[in-house]
Amino acid sequence: MSINNLDEFAHTWEAIREDYDTLSNDEYDQSVLDCAARLAADPAGQTAYAWTLGLVLMAPYLGYAIDDTGKPEAVAALHAADSALHHHPCAHDAPALDLAVATSQDRPECLLAVHAVAAYAASDMCEAPSVLKELINALEKTLPHYADATCGHTQHTEPPRWAPDLAELGIQLSSPGGRARYERTRRQDEDPPLENLLCPVTLARIAQDSLKSLRSRHSQLIADPDAEDAAGATAA
């Protein structure tokens, strides 16, 4: 299956993500159905990542839309991809590991990415105590670096609340080029300056909030001795 026109697809998906709050849109529906069909046709293929990303970017529209057009197809395709790829080996470091070993220069960006993962991990959708424990350990090792955090800001920045946006921001800020691009393209009236976004006091609060929610969810799960087995059975 060819994906030579990925840029075109990505532009369409991003446009839908940016303007998702419409009750019904035939063009949006067709984009969802097309993306779901391509993923379902080859859920473990080389282009599966692209169709999965497309459905994730269009998910806000599906959640907002008044009818169910495309929703069953999208869910079925994502389940198929999860079943096909769940146990495949991966050479990439986990976000928690990245944060635990991050340098002082890389730590803020890794923390933003972990905060995004934590939003999912602390929800009812995650039933694996070991995943939560890994994130908890990473944050516990990180917080001492911010124990004496101070700043001169009169107002602190709120990071994006939607997890994909937060993860995207963390990835963008993880390189000098990404940070320069953020400063160059940020909207003056909406996006905070980079200095405020990476404020140590803000980052300390983010780490503390993430740790609190993860500990709470972890406590709930370890109270159920079957939680880890249930999570493994679901994945299998």
The 3-class secondary structure across 190-225, one letter per residue, is CCCCHHHHCCHHHHHHHHHHHHHHHHHHHHHHHCCC
Per residue of the chain (236 residues), give pLDDT as tens. 444 567 788 888 888 988 888 888 999 999 999 999 999 999 998 888 889 888 988 888 888 888 899 999 999 999 999 888 877 766 655 667 677 777 777 788 788 778 877 877 887 767 788 888 989 998 999 999 998 989 888 878 777 776 667 767 776 776 777 788 888 888 888 888 888 888 899 889 889 998 999 999 999 988 875 554 544 444 44
Tokens of 72: 């069953």
Give the Cα separation of 4 and 212 in Å (integer).
44
DSSP 61-96: HHHH-SS-TTHHHHHHHHHHHHHHHTT----SPPHH
What are the extents of the domains in the chain? 6-85, 95-235
Task: Give the type of residue at 62.
Answer: L
